[in-house]
Amino acid sequence: MPLYAQLTRAIQFAIATGRLRQGEQLPTVRQLAVELRVNANTVAKVYAELERSGVLETRRGVGTFVCARQFAANSRQDHEKQLRELVDRFLEEAAAMGFTADDLADQLQTRRKKETEKNV
């Protein structure tokens, strides 16, 4: 997967999971490029693509922000779609390795218990 696609998905995931919130400012293109050790043009391309799709907005002279307009509904729909796609890939890979959906459900339930106990 190309680097710009990975970065695009990472930003979308951060928004969908609440690590980046509506109205929150993102690092500048240069800052993020230096931090990730990638070409600034790659970051600029990602920001531009996400702005065209309504995920980000750029305010001249101020910076790039997570778009607050109508993002919640789109985010929820996109988030659910991404989750369905992830589950489909997960089930396909597990089946190829000989695991059943019940095997996966048991492991997920065990993992959930561990996470719950850890957070209590």
Rounded to two decimals, the pTM is 0.59
Check residue 74 and give its pLDDT.
62
Q: Are 68 and 25 a contacting pair, CB within 8 Å?
A: no
Check residue 88 and give its pLDDT.
87
Report the C-alpha gap between 12 and 86 in whole angstroms: 15
Q: Which helix (H) or strand (E) holds 25?
A: none
Helix intervals (H) in 1-120: 3-16, 29-36, 40-52, 71-96, 101-119
Check residue 47 and give its pLDDT.
96
CATH architecture of 3-66: Orthogonal Bundle (1.10)
